Structure 1
């Protein structure tokens, strides 16, 4: 088994799906959490001046999707069948589209933020999440997104639903996704997994700070 260190800030954010993949797969890893005060010093030591970063036997791996895919393969949460793997990647791609739309505006103008978040809720979510809901229905009854077992597709979905439900996104209703039954089913299956439950019993839940 390789020696693994996952480096991110002390929050869920873009590293949590990878943490959960390793936890569910019972893969030993060092959960390194960078304090913001030390980030300026650590930043130049990362490949792209950004986190998360995975270190595998001394080799750095960057970009959250690449990290999650690696962790998923190591943990048995990524299909070996090419078509099933493509379905998993499709789900991840849609979740990325939704996330980009969610944070489309990053300025300080509250009126502009309200406008963009309103567009997100009324246009982007029905477009992307509505389409994904239908795709998951076509993939099967669930609870898992693709196939009969958890994959990183479910961890992508869990990340999105958690971000919405946390109530920390200004001008976004935390119940926005509750009507998407198949998506919520995938999220719930992840959160009810014994290893995930145990993880959150040990680790304080911090969303973004």
Structure 2
């Protein structure tokens, strides 16, 4: 566990910041969970390295790129594998979930007709391509409750964060049952959802909002 002062800044949604939040929570790593609304983004954007979030502060120094942040959080939380072969698989899954989140944003801010068309393509073409691909890779990597090894890794958390975004109703024109047929992927997500530290984290977040 690091002695560094840590702060994660991201919108108050799951998206690209959720896996890092969960990694730190599971590892009992103390950090400041700095969430903000979309209305604050314009003021915050100039202070980010690349005009994007999440950003992650380590002893006051800002860092960017969601997967770089997640790997750091995974390492300090003991959720990133030391084995290079396992790490390769973890990174592959992390990058694939990141691709899905990127593609899901196509059409946003371009009018309802464009958004509907892009989301239809997303559901009909991109989800089968990427989430179907994840499903096959999970089957190839093993049949246990986790994605890569016999233990929880940040790959599981990345998949779960993607799952939350796609099935929560947050994305217009994306049905909540869009991932139901991917049983191996869903199994991984259920394992993460039931993790005691994950349950505890969401309970604390709910209490903080009341």
The answer to whether the Cα contact below 8 Å between 1:6 and 1:53 also exists between their aligned partners in 2 is: yes
Aligned residues: 205
Corresponding residue of 1:31 = 33
Structure 1: runs of 5+ lacking an equivalent:
none
CA displacement at 1:46 relative to structure 2: 2.3
What is the match of residue 48 of structure 2? Answer: 46
Q: Structure 1 CA distance, aligned partners of 2:100 and 2:165? A: 11
2:143 to 136, 141, 144: 141
Aligned to 2:172: 170
Quick one: structure 1 residues 23 and 126, their matched pair in 2 at CA, closer, same or farther if it must change by over 3 Å? same
User: Could you say what the CA RMSD is over the residues aligned between the two structures, in angstroms?
Assistant: 1.7
Q: Distance in 1 between matches of 2:63 and 2:200?
A: 27
- Could you tell me which residue of structure 1 aligns to residue 128 of structure 2? 126
Q: 1:195 to 1:181 in 2, by over 3 A?
A: same
Name the SS of the counterpart of 2:148 in structure 1. Answer: coil
Tell me, yes or no, if structure 1 residue 15 matches structure 2 residue 42: no
> Quick one: distance in 2 between partners of 1:97 and 1:39?
22
Q: Would the alpha carbon gap of residues 162 and 151 (structure 1) be closer, same or farther in structure 2, given more than 3 Å must change?
A: same
Aligned residue among 95, 104, 107 for 1:105: 107
- Is the CA contact 1:142–1:182 (under 8 Å) kept in the aligned structure 2? no
Deviation at 1:27, TM superposition (A): 0.5
Query: Relative to structure 2, which stretch is displaced further, 58-67 or 31-40?
Result: 31-40
Structure 1 length-normalised TM: 0.91
Q: Judging changes above 3 Å, is the alpha-carbon distance between structure 1 residues 127 and 38 closer, same or farther for their aligned structure 2 residues?
A: closer
CA shift for structure 1 position 41: 3.8
Shift of 1:13: 2.9
How far residue 134 of structure 1 moved from its aligned partner, in angstroms, is 1.0
Q: Determine helix, strand or coil for the equivalent of 1:7.
A: strand
Question: Mind listing any 5+ residue stretches in structure 2 that lack a counterpart?
Answer: none
For residue 40 of structure 1, report the CA deviation from its aligned partner: 3.9
String of CA shifts for 1:39-88, please: whole Å, max 9, x gaps: 44433322223321111122211111111111011111111111100000
Contact 1:121 1:172 in 2 (8 A): yes
C-alpha distance in 1 between matches for 2:99 and 2:78: 25
C-alpha separation in 1, matches of 2:131 and 2:40 = 37
